[in-house]
Amino acid sequence: MQSLLLDFLNVTESAAIAALPWIGSGDKIAADGAATNVMRDTFNQMNMNGTVVIGEGEIDEAPMLFIGEKLGLGNGPEVDIAVDPIEGTTPTVNGQRNAITVIAAAPKGTLLHAPDMYMEKLVVGPKARGKVNIELPLLDNMKAVAQANGKKMKELNIYIQDRPRHQEYIETIRAAGAKVHLFHDGDVIYATATCMENADVDMFIGIGGAPEGVLGAVAVKCLGGEMQARLKPRNDEEIERCLQMGLPETKLVLNHQQLISSDDCVFTATGVTDNLLLNGIRTEHRNHITQSILINGKERKLRYIESRHTIHSKV
């Protein structure tokens, strides 16, 4: 995996630049298509034998990278890939905050292989690792996190996606005196931020996409935090898809090791628009300037990388 670090960074940078013309455009399909096509093309220049194990679904409905898709030149290491060409397509095309291009990768057989479906997630930073249990009441976990982080309940900052399905969580948090921070998009961003002390995110909870859950799980593992999850199938078809992928108990709690079982994992994200982690793309003097994070689980090292990409004139 070490030999592929800069290649993975190139994938997210290239996809972010491809999305740039679509910021504020209102055209989600075009934005997704531009980022996905460039991401696929860039992956396919890499010396690896990659497989998308969790992404946009099992059927090849272009332009999405789909579950089971093979990526790379077919030589080099065998790699599991989780991908979201644009995490935050809606804010991208609305010219809003919280859009990134993001991938996670690990050796073959070490990332969760699951359908594109809903997943319940609980994420905490390094100080609270080992102190929470997704099967316990939320209030119990809040008390454990407050104690681990050396805070009073009223000082606790809990981030949750602004969706009607989370109303019970929101009421519980506020009734306990803790602070609710609602966001509309950016699941992976806020899961990762639990492990960054300067972000002051004590806990991330909620029900969202399984691909975003696995992406976040890799970032959190690399940074020493903890994620627990539970798949939430909505119908018999999703249950059947879980069975076909070797997940016989679809409501089984997934610990962090089941989401990502190797320390030799990589997470990289590039800002499309400004967000809690990264600046969005800027254009200065015929250069696109990108800001990215590259996290290596083996080294437990977080790198912030700013790159200048020369804009080539079209003939």
* Residue 26, burial from CB neighbour count under 10 angstroms (0-12, 13-18, 19+): exposed
Is the CB of residue 201 less than 8 Å from the CB of residue 186? Answer: no
Binding residue ranges for substrate: 87-89, 118, 163-165, 185-187, 209
Cα dihedral value 238, 241, 243, 247, nearest 10:
-80
What sign does the dihedral 222-225-228-229 (CA atoms) show?
A: negative
Q: Is the peptide bond before 63 cis (omega within 30 degrees of 0)?
A: yes
Residue list, annotated binding site for Mn(2+): 32, 56, 84, 87, 212
| Structure token pair of residue 23 | 């910021």
Would you call 173 exposed, middle or buried from its count of C-beta atoms within 10 A (0-12, 13-18, 19+)? buried
Place of tokens 């967000």: 275
| Numbered residues of the known binding site | 32, 56, 84, 87-89, 118, 163-165, 185-187, 209, 212
How do 70-71 and 78-87 pair as beta strands? Answer: unpaired
